[in-house]
Structure 1
Amino acid sequence: MTNTPAFRRLLLLVFGACSVFGSMSAAEETEQPNIVLIISDDQGWNDIGYHDPDIKSPTLDRLAAEGVRLDWQYVMPQCTPTRVCLMTGRYPSRFGNHCCRASNEHAFSFDTPTLASVLKAAGYRTALCGKWHLGSKPEWGPNHHGFDHSYGSLAGAIGMYDHRYRLSSPFVVTWHRNHEFIEEQGHATDLVTAEAVKLLEDARDQPLFLYVPFQSVHNPIVEEDKWIEQNSHIESPDRRLYAAAVTHMDDCVRQIVEASQNAPNGRESLVVFISDNGAVVNSSGNVYPPPDPKLSNFSSNKPLRSSKTHVYEGGIRVPALAWWPGRLEPSVCKAPLHAVDWFATLVEVGGAELPADIAFDGQNIWPQLTGEPADQRELYWVWGGNRDRVALRAGDWKVLRDGRKKQWELYNLKDDPYEKNNLASTNPERLEEMLDKVREQKLGDAS
């Protein structure tokens, strides 16, 4: 896996040639960059300016143009599963069915190495500002999983001014600072941003790992007129409201990026931005604290197929970028990447060591970010409390079953990126070959 001696020798060659760090096995403390990992919530493929010019996201568009735009960034089809991937470097199905869907349960055991705990062991101060959703009780919170500081919602989406979770849930009270419930005034996106900026401004000596999983742009969507007016060119009022949330979040990303460039510790900063899953497209409303309006066709995964919670491309392929001035050249990365890859990648960037006794599913993708060709690899998805939806990509081929009672489907993504031509009946040999790979991956899943 990614921690073998041969792999480390390859990294030394690659990084030495690129002069990224003085030493790749463990970067000197003075060379450890600040790492800012920003996650948007439910932002679809077509919900960013560089895919749809109607969307006003100037900061994210600029970062994508100046950094590496990740054109094949995969995640899981829903929030909790993607966060499991990011924090552990392993597929959520490895931990059990509760991790394969949005869940308030405790996701993984306290002794599970996380991105925060591994970077902390390498000298980083670690902080989370935003949405945790990997265990919605304070006793399961981020400070028990490697974070020195945490702020935001322990549970999932919240009322943007109300700051409470679903009103019918036992986890309705969720807004906290370091696991102590608090009451505050303000829009959640602004509050999270202010906390993140303050942490960057207070970064004096240690390198900082700052994880910013926004509650935005998940519904319920509540936005001020100043953001709506910037999107007055959009005819649909529901799409206009959503676009306002994107513009608002984009401005908050600007504030965080600017603060990262002026951090008192004088370190460079790597900024990574990813959406946690594809767009939900329609919302029934009246689920979260009001106002929680019904919205129709307000977000978009076009031209990708389907939406959030599904294993077609529209549910799992999202906008993403990596930005590090002077270290990452402007480019478009077309290698298939997965959320599980960021664990190994950021651990290496931070000069930390991967735990040697764990079979990680991700790999260090820094070579791909710097232009190295990608090897053929397998990517794997399981979604649902009953593992209803399953997919696997190997090379250009993808097999999926988008429901327990559905038939297996087969696509060649090189020829058919929008999954219009199901080849399962005309290519049974390839289908069976792909299903063998699915069965092999399932051997690693928790029962």
Structure 2
Amino acid sequence: MPNLRSRRLNVFLYLFCVFCIQTTFLQAAEKPNIILVMCDDMGFSDIGCYGGEVETPNLNRLAREGMRFTQFYNNAKCTTTRASILTGLYPRFGKGGHLRQNMVTLGEAMKVAGYQTGLSGKWHLMRTKGYAKSKYPGGWIDRYDKTTHPFFRGFDSYYGVLDGACNFFDPTISDPPYKRAGIRSFGQDDKAVTEFKDDYYTTDAFTDHTLGMIQRYSKSDKPFFIHLCYTAPHYPLHAKPEDIAKYVGKFKMGWDQMRKDRWKRLQEMGLAGKNWSLSEGDSRTYDWASADHEFEDLRMAVYAAMIDSMDQNIGRIMTTLKETGQLDNTLVLFLSDNGGCSEEPGGRDPKVRRPGPKDDYVAVGPSWGWAQNSPFRRYKSWVHEGGISTPCIAWWPGHIPADTINRSPAHIIDLMPTFLEMAGTDYPKAYQGHELLPLEGTSMLPLLKGEAKALHDSLAWYWSGNRALRQGPWKLVWDTQVKEWELYDISADRCETNNLAAQHPDRVKQMAQDWFAWADKVELKSKLKGKK
């Protein structure tokens, strides 16, 4: 018989073990799951809860039960936005590309924090080894540097398109010669995917993989981080006939009237500030009266159908979260990678272009692309507000106040530190033997709790010659078509209608110097040679 002292020791050890196990479970439960959903080339005011015509009941629900941001910024372009979201850094433009070994990804950082990780959809950060893109590869390993592959950069599970947007119905169909004359590469984990079922549609497939991860990860005590990157509504304009039918005829008001209608709804919703003024005109748009109205209406109808399909799939995600018991402990965050797109590969001749089915490759063009970002100026690739402003919805029951609007500026570089704070871990100084670049984002957790707070003294942008710097209410912009600095007071003129550069030459000079200092930091020297 063990003596009394021995029995007491055994009881103490038993209780201590129970305490440790319970503490571990509590800590796991306190760490929320995170699902970061990003769509591709969608405008600021396209979805219903931001003033758009598209039926988006699931996103509207997230907005009604969560928070909408009015000043959330991306990088105006697919690749640079993805790089910043994944690293918490401004994109680097020098040798080495946007994703390097001295940068840690969200997948890697969240794994260190004890999370299961996954990514579904578009990646677009692969560095190629110089192989031609005209022939469909038998395997990505012969074509890509694996240090830029999601499966080798922290994501336990990956499925999707490794480069840009592909044919939605059949990814084995090549881009047309007037676009790129190549087939986009698909992968699942570290293997190539070359076969697709007859009823394939990328938006559904990316969601299917996400649902599988939720169901699988929910069986573990560890929380999960999932990044879902839809290619919708990026061109080519491909949608299901039943979704297109909902919208045919709804856009015959034309882009000018659509902008005015959206502007009115944004004001009624309280998303547009009382001192905003609708921006007018764009140098690259064309006249509605001279356009083919049937063709233009169909282009926007297909585009709307692509967003509608995405919203349907977000509804599937919310249902699966409920079925797996994860609904109340999950942050769902939704945004777009840049503003609506003005690109138009292949032109807009209705005699040769046919939006909708898989056998053509059509885009919405500059007039619709401009209108999708109502009430702002410009679109994707430009750094006026229309190019860099995204709708952003954050939903986290019991933590984010319902039906709220946050007007504080925030940026995609802030997502990494936000998620790390939620996970209860710090940003690492080194990873796998590489000293890391210092984190440049700031946690926006106070904003998610409902606070109004300035996260940054300065924010900067660059893409394809277009430049911008924001410091407090002041924003400095360089447009490649204007080719001179413009200055706006964003607090009084969010839509950039009143250029104040002539009234504040000293401020323009100082902010320009600050922008070039930032440009040196992000390795833009070679791109700006002789352009100061």
Is the Cα–Cα contact under 8 Å of residues 392 and 400 in structure 1 kept in the other structure?
A: yes
Look up the match of 2:459.
379
Equivalent residue for 1:178?
189
> Structure 1 stretch 429-438 or stretch 82-91: which is displaced more?
429-438
- Selected match of 2:165 from 157, 162, 165: 157
Q: CA deviation at 1:441?
A: 2.0
Aligned-partner Cα distance in 2 for 1:273–1:406: 34
Question: What TM-score comes out, normalization by structure 1 length?
Answer: 0.86
Q: Deviations over 1:261-314 (max 9, x none)?
A: 333678711001010000014523489974212534444111100111001000
CA-to-aligned-CA distance 1:388-427 (integer Å, 9 cap, x gap): 1111101110001122971011011111111111111121
Tell me which of 88, 92, 96 is aligned to 2:93.
96
Match of 2:153 in 1: 145
Write out per-residue CA displacement over residues 323-348 of structure 1, whole angstroms, 9 at most, x where no aligned residue. 01111112111001111110110111
CA contact (8 A) 2:102 2:437 kept: no
Which has the higher mean CA deviation after the structures are superposed, 303-312 or 404-413?
Answer: 404-413
Contact 1:31 1:267 in 2 (8 A): no
Is there any run of 5+ residues in structure 1 with no aligned partner, and where? Answer: 1-22, 99-104
Give distance in 2, aligned partners of 1:249 and 1:270: 18
Q: Which of 295-304 and 197-206 deviates more? A: 295-304
Partner letter of residue 273 of structure 1? F
1:199 partner letter:
M
More displaced 10-residue stretch of structure 1: 432-441 or 168-177: 168-177
Alignment of 1:302-313 (within 5 A): 302-313=374-385
Counterpart residue number, 2:234: 218
SS in 2 for 1:425: helix
CA distance in 2, matches of 1:110, 1:153: 22
Cα distance per residue 1:125-144 (max 9 Å; x no partner): 11110000011554231012
Question: Kindly tell me: are residues 314 and 256 of structure 1, through their superposed partners in 2, closer, same or farther at Cα, counting changes over 3 Å?
Answer: same
State the Cα deviation string for residues 212-250 of structure 1 (Å, max 9, x = none).
Answer: 010111011211122112224513221111111111111
Question: Residue 374 of structure 1: CA displacement?
Answer: 1.1
1:319 aligns with 2:394: no
Please report the TM-score for the alignment, with normalisation by the length of structure 2: 0.73
Select the structure of larger CA radius of gyration.
Answer: 2
- The aligned counterpart of 1:209 is 225
Letter in 1 for 2:389: R
CA 171–346 in structure 1, closer or farther in 2 if over 3 Å, else same: farther
Secondary structure of 1:28's aligned partner: helix
Q: Specify the alignment match of 1:13 in structure 2.
A: none
1:436 maps to a residue whose letter is Q
State the shift of 1:350 in Å: 1.8
Q: Which runs of 5+ in 2 are unaligned?
A: 1-22, 129-139, 141-145, 253-296, 348-352, 430-435, 526-532
Q: Which has the higher helix share?
A: 2
Could you say what secondary structure the match of 2:393 adopts? strand
In structure 2, the partner of 1:189 is 203
Measured in 2, the distance between the counterparts of 1:333 and 1:282 equals 31
2:121 corresponds to 1:41? no
Q: Which range is displaced more, 272-281 or 365-374?
A: 365-374
- For residues 173 and 270 of structure 1, the distance between their equivalents in structure 2, rounded to whole angstroms, comes to 31
- Asked whether the equivalents of residues 303 and 418 of structure 1 are also in contact (C-alpha less than 8 Å), the reply is yes
The aligned amino acid for 1:117 is: E
For each residue in 1:40-89, what CA deviation from the matched residue of structure 2 results, as whole angstroms up to 9, or x when unmatched? Answer: 00000121112334221111111112101011110011100000110010
Aligned residues between the structures:
411
3-state SS in 2 of match to 1:176: strand
Counterpart CA distance in 1 for 2:486 and 2:476 is 6
Q: Could you say which residue in structure 1 is the equivalent of 2:504?
A: 427
Q: 1:111 deviation in Å?
A: 4.5
When the two chains are superposed, the root-mean-square deviation of aligned CA atoms in Å is 2.4
- Give the counterpart of 1:240 among 289, 297, 301: 301
1:134 corresponds to 2:125: yes
Q: What CA distance in whole angstroms lies between the structure 1 residues aligned with 2:327 and 2:392?
A: 26
- By how many angstroms is 1:260 displaced? 2.4
Alpha-carbon displacement from aligned partner over 1:150-207 (angstroms, at most 9, x marks no partner):
1010001110012156356586241111131211120000110111111101111121
Deviation at 1:122, TM superposition (A): 1.2
2:441 matched residue in structure 1: 362
Question: Counterpart of 2:270?
Answer: none
Q: Which amino acid aligns with 1:354?
A: Y
Structure 1 vs Structure 2: percent identity of aligned residues? 30
Call closer, same or farther: CA 1:283–1:52 in 2, change over 3 Å: farther
User: Is 1:334 equivalent to 2:404 in the alignment?
Assistant: no
